[in-house]
Amino acid sequence: MARPEVLNSIKQAERDADEIIAEAESDADERLAEARERADEIRAEAEEAAESEAQERLESAREEIEERREEILESGRADRDELEREARDRVDSAVDYAVERFEEAVNQQAEEAVDAQA
């Protein structure tokens, strides 16, 4: 092969190599852009799933809190009712005691008045 043919062959090989490199760089850039786009999609899907999970947990927690609140209120109502029953039961005893003490005081004063006259 003559020298000019070798030089032309080398130049052609360099052009071919430049073209291959340019195509490879273009392909790499395209793949990188696709990978970034897919990563953005995956990130958005993950954020959406996380938000949905957080909402579900929040709703579940609210339901549990409401159930516990109702239990506490019901327990408080039961305690109140029991205290009211006990208080009503004691009213009669307290009235009876007060009447007895009053009668004793009246009787004692009457006896003292009788003794003072005698």
CA distance 22 to 19: 5
Write down how long the chain is. Answer: 118
Q: pLDDT of 52-89, one tens digit each?
A: 999 999 999 999 999 999 999 999 999 999 999 988 88
CA distance 87 to 4: 122
Structural domain boundaries of the chain?
Answer: 1-87
SS3 33: helix
Q: pLDDT of 15-56, one tens digit each?
A: 989 999 999 999 999 999 999 999 999 999 999 999 999 999
CA distance 72 to 64: 12
